[in-house]
Amino acid sequence: MSTKSFFLFGARGTGKSTWLERQFEAKHPFFIDLLDPDQEDRYSRNPKALELDVLDKIKKNVPLDWVILDEVQKAPKLLDVVHRLIEKKKLKFVLTGSSARKLKRGHANLLGGRALVYSLFPLSYQELGGHFNLDFFLRWGSLPAIVTAKNDRERLALLRSYKQTYLKEEVLVEQLVRNLVPFKNFIEIAAQMNAERLNYENIAVQINVDNKTVQNYFEILEETYLGIRLPAYHHSIRKSQLLSPKFYWFDLGVKRFLTGEIRSEVARNTFTYGREFETFIINEIWKLISYRELDYQLSYLQTKNGPEIDLILTRGKEKIAIEIKSNRRVDEKEVKIFEDLASDLPGTKKLYYLSHDPHTVQLGTVLCLPWQRFLEDLNS
């Protein structure tokens, strides 16, 4: 655990509060829950109350190693007080949030390097260990409450509540959009567009808004940690921005609830299974890159004729190209197409073909691996 103040960002329901309770249980921190309406009202109206409360504890010789502000975006002006207390009193803070949008757009004090920044995601393949079940993961996702729910009926209720809470607490109350109706329609369409190239104009027509509003809506999803936009790779950043990105939802259970698919299992050897498996792998890689601070940039390779490379990890001149297949066996023709596409990538590169095939085999310049081994290697 960090010995320096830090932000901990992540979508609602990923377990930030539970993690904090376990990590800091023996440290007896001063904990402020800004989801509590009374505490939010008090500190929002008078941010200096935080400093007065802290100084009062210091005066009374109360041990005060850490101060935790849970959901700090609810009262962003507190960050000026936090800044002052870090500088003057050398206190350590944990600042959690499920939305960076209000902080960024409101020009909140992000402490200028005085606090580290971490992210928390739904449970990962490695975290679940022996309890991991891919079919369950592809259908229900891995939010902690979903994983520990007693039955499917309870899981459905939790996902229904998640959607309602997100729209009400994160979007409406925080005034992220002026009109909730088109945004409600948007998130259902955005869920249907998971793992596909985004066409802002088509989405705008469907929900009766302009293109800029649709792009803004996707920014809201990213800044509330509900997904990642994967840009199309190009060696020129300017040209990359002109190509269509993809969007991957952070959790398949939430995504499948929004599309209405949640009541059915994900049948193997179908297009849907392949799409969900691709989403799962990209999310797992995204989690590992964040947790292990690997500093890779994520993109995908878009071509004019249709074929794509699912994922490219870039770090300086190093490039890792990854093809993700839900096949039970390595398809040599697919591997060859992938290898030919990747030949146009400049710089040092490694090519991986990930599938359910339990064997490891080198075909040309492509290393074909079981998906589990690739994730374990990335985590080592």
| pLDDT, averaged in runs of 10, over the chain (380 residues) | 84 91 84 93 94 91 88 90 89 90 66 82 95 97 97 97 88 79 94 95 95 94 94 68 85 97 94 97 97 95 81 93 96 94 86 97 97 95
Per-residue confidence (pLDDT) for residue 133, from 0 to 100:
97
The fold adopted by the segment(s) 125-273 is: Arc Repressor Mutant, subunit A (1.10.10)
DSSP state of 242: T
Pairwise CA distance, residues 248 & 229, whole Å: 6
Find tokens 């400093």 and name the residue: 51
Taking only the tens place, the pLDDT of each residue in 291-331 is 999 999 999 998 777 778 999 999 988 999 999 999 999 99
Tell me the two tokens of residue 295.
């500093």
Torsion, CA 22, CA 24, CA 27, CA 29, rounded to 10: -130
- Positive or negative, the Cα torsion across 131, 132, 138, 143? positive
| Phi, psi for residue 235 in degrees, rounded to 5 | -65, -20
Strand partners, 311: 322
Measure CA 96 to chain center. Answer: 15
The b/e string for 281-318 (b: 16+ C-beta within 10 A; e otherwise) is: bbbbbbbbbbbeeeebebbbbbeeeeebbbbbbbeeee
Per-residue confidence (pLDDT) for residue 108, from 0 to 100:
59
Domain ranges of the chain: 6-119, 125-273, 294-378
Measure CA 143 to chain center. Answer: 12
Pairwise CA distance, residues 64 & 93, whole Å: 10
CATH number assigned to the domain with residue range 294-378, chosen from the 4 options 3.40.1390, 1.20.58, 3.40.1350, 1.10.760: 3.40.1350
pTM score, two decimals?
A: 0.92
Estimate the crossing angle of helix 211-223 against helix 200-207, to 10 degrees.
100
Give Cα separations from 62 to 32, 53, 66, 89, 198 (angstroms). 16, 11, 11, 14, 54
Estimate the crossing angle of helix 271-291 against helix 252-259, to 10 degrees.
140
Torsion, CA 81, CA 87, CA 92, CA 93, rounded to 10: 30
Q: Count the neighbouring beta carbons within 10 Å of the beta carbon of residue 232.
A: 20
Q: What is the CATH number of domain 6-119?
A: 3.40.50.300
Pairwise CA distance, residues 328 & 351, whole Å: 19
